[in-house]
């Protein structure tokens, strides 16, 4: 007997609005059990039931939410909006669907990694067979626990840039270094850096596991340490950098850091202050912004402005001010204008920040 022959959709919708907590829990789990058995009789019924469960979900007890997540985590036919709603709930509720729901695709996982918190990103990192687009999005947040989870997940695909970030951060995170030594797909070009950051027992393990000459690498590391003191003098702009950082942080805390301030920095030809302000507004590191600007100034600027929620109509003014300030940036026409339009048209602010971080790693 089909669902629609037992209940009218209007009756189910009315029950979904019930003020009886126990009634709501029972109704949601009954619908969840029905959906877990297989696809419903037609697409309209599936859509209606999915909408009712979305209405019920935030109004039921936490235990009922957890039970529903467990019921639907393997159902490939489950409602996509419902699964996304569950995935954005508390980590305990979200864990089953994030870990295994076939409904979630790469775009969903990237979106979740940008919207949710560290605990959700850890769950995504441990999901089997995540692609490089997902790991790149996760790694862009530079969270050691998430990076360690990704590296521990042997089925997770990792790009060269992702491995490089993990090795860099492993310098101060011993568990991450240990997990990296177990990755068979570790790029050989990064092995010397991993070796340099490791203690003697781990260096021996690296030499054996990756088949490298430990004595040679030890000599290279020793020479690098001896030459460390022979670097060039401190940049004379260091004082300006400190002053810019201090002022920008002060303005940000006072909620006075804004697009007009960015334009003022350009009009004053204060490039250091401009870079500090734009990086802070965009939510990326200063070094990341500078590396991205060096790689592709017009695209990086557009991504930065999008991440900073600068209105699209203001971008030409910022571009003009950058040119007037003497910064090297392509004219705003042809394919370069299309790049800027693409940065705004295809990225949310959060996605633009991720794209900017990834662009910086290509520099």
DSSP line for 188-232: GGGHHHHHHHS-HHHHHHHHHHHT--HHHHHHHHHHHHHTGGGPP
Q: What pLDDT score was predicted for residue 233?
A: 47
Task: Over range 275-295, report the average pLDDT.
Answer: 91
Q: Are both 94 and 171 inside the same structural domain?
A: no
**Integer angstrom CA distances of residue 258 from 173, 251, 281, 304:** 35, 9, 8, 13
Containing H/E element for 32? helix 21-37
Query: How much of the chain exceeds pLDDT 70, in percent?
Result: 88
Q: Are both 92 and 140 inside the same structural domain?
A: no
Q: Are both 215 and 297 inside the same structural domain?
A: no
Q: Are both 184 and 255 inside the same structural domain?
A: no
Q: Are both 354 and 261 inside the same structural domain?
A: yes
Q: Which of 10-19, 50-59, 151-160, 352-361 has the lowest mean pLDDT?
A: 10-19
Residue with tokens 């042997």: 154
10 Å CB burial of residue 117 (0-12, 13-18, 19+) is: exposed
d(CA 124, CA 105): 12
Q: What pLDDT score was predicted for residue 229?
A: 44
Residue ending a domain, choose from 230, 265, 289? 230
Q: Decide: 161 and 136 in contact? Cβ < 8 Å.
A: yes
Angle, helix 297-307 to helix 349-361, in steps of 10 degrees: 150
Q: Are both 288 and 215 inside the same structural domain?
A: no
Model confidence at 335: pLDDT above 60 = yes
**The pTM of the whole model exceeds 0.75:** no
Query: How much of the chain exceeds pLDDT 90, in percent?
Result: 43
Residue with tokens 């401009």: 274
Q: What pLDDT score was predicted for residue 17?
A: 66
Q: Are both 66 and 115 inside the same structural domain?
A: no
Task: Over range 324-353, report the average pLDDT.
Answer: 86
Model confidence at 239: pLDDT above 70 = yes
Q: Are both 166 and 258 inside the same structural domain?
A: no
Q: Are both 212 and 290 inside the same structural domain?
A: no
Closest by CA to 154, choosing from 126, 121, 120, is 126
Q: Are both 56 and 82 inside the same structural domain?
A: yes
Q: Are both 77 and 110 inside the same structural domain?
A: no
For the segment 188-235, what is each residue's pLDDT rounded down to a tens digit?
878 888 888 888 888 888 888 888 776 776 666 565 545 444 444 444
Residue ending a domain, choose from 188, 214, 230? 230
Q: How confident is the model at residue 362 (pLDDT cuts 50, 70, 90)?
A: low
Q: Are both 151 and 44 inside the same structural domain?
A: no
Task: Over range 293-317, report the average pLDDT.
Answer: 92
Closest by CA to 101, choosing from 48, 8, 35, is 35
**Integer angstrom CA distances of residue 24 from 2, 13, 16, 57:** 22, 11, 6, 9
Four-point Cα dihedral 214, 216, 222, 224, nearest 10 = -120
Angle CA(5)–CA(76)–CA(346) in degrees, nearest 5?
Answer: 115
Tokens of 339: 């790049």
For the segment 69-114, what is each residue's pLDDT rounded down to a tens digit?
999 999 999 999 999 999 999 999 999 999 999 999 999 999 999 8
238 phi/psi in degrees, rounded to 5: -60, -40
Model confidence at 129: pLDDT above 80 = yes
10 compared with 209, residue with greater pLDDT: 209
Model confidence at 3: pLDDT above 60 = no
Model confidence at 9: pLDDT above 70 = no
Angle, helix 297-307 to helix 315-324, in steps of 10 degrees: 130
Q: Which of 16-20, 100-104, 334-338 has the lowest mean pLDDT?
A: 16-20
Count structural domains, the chain. 3
Angle CA(268)–CA(273)–CA(277) in degrees, nearest 5?
Answer: 115
Domain hosting 111: range is 105-230
Model confidence at 57: pLDDT above 80 = yes
For the segment 175-186, what is each residue's pLDDT rounded down to a tens digit?
999 999 999 888
Q: What pLDDT score was predicted for residue 14?
A: 63
**Average pLDDT value over all residues in the chain:** 85
Residue ending a domain, choose from 100, 125, 157? 100
């Amino acid at each position: 007997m089909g669902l629609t022959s037992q209940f009218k959709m209007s009756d189910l919708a009315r029950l979904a609005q019930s003020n009886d907590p126990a009634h709501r829990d029972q109704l949601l789990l009954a619908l969840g059990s029905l959906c877990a058995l297989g696809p419903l009789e037609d697409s309209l019924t599936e859509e209606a039931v999915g909408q009712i469960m979305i209405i019920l979900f935030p109004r039921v007890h936490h235990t009922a939410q957890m039970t529903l997540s467990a019921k639907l985590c393997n159902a490939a036919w489950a409602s996509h909006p419902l699964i996304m709603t569950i995935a954005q709930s508390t980590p305990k509720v979200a864990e089953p669907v994030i870990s295994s729901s076939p409904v979630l695709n790469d775009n969903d996982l990237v979106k979740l990694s940008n919207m949710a918190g560290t605990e959700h990103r850890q769950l995504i990192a441990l999901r089997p067979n995540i692609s490089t687009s997902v790991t790149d999005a996760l790694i862009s947040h530079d969270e050691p626990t998430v990076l360690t989870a990704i590296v521990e997940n042997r089925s997770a695909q990792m790009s060269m840039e992702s491995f490089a970030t993990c090795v860099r951060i492993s310098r101060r995170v011993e568990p991450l270094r240990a997990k990296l030594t177990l990755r068979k797909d570790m790029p050989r070009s990064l092995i010397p850096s991993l070796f340099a950051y490791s203690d003697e027992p781990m260096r021996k393990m690296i030499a054996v596991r990756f088949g490298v000459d430990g004595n040679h690498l030890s000599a290279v590391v020793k020479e690098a340490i001896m030459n460390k003191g022979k670097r060039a003098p401190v940049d004379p702009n260091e004082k300006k950098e400190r002053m810019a950082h201090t002022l920008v942080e002060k303005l940000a805390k006072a909620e006075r850091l804004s697009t007009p301030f960015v334009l003022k920095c350009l009009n004053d030809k204060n490039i250091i202050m401009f870079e500090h302000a734009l990086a802070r507004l965009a939510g990326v590191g200063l070094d990341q912004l500078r590396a991205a600007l060096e790689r592709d100034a017009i695209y990086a600027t557009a991504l930065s402005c999008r991440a900073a929620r600068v209105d699209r109509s203001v971008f030409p003014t910022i571009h003009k001010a950058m040119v007037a300030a003497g910064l090297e940036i392509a004219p705003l026409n042809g394919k370069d204008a299309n790049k800027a339009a693409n940065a705004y048209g295809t990225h949310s602010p959060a996605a633009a920040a991720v794209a900017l971080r990834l662009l910086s790693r290509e520099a």
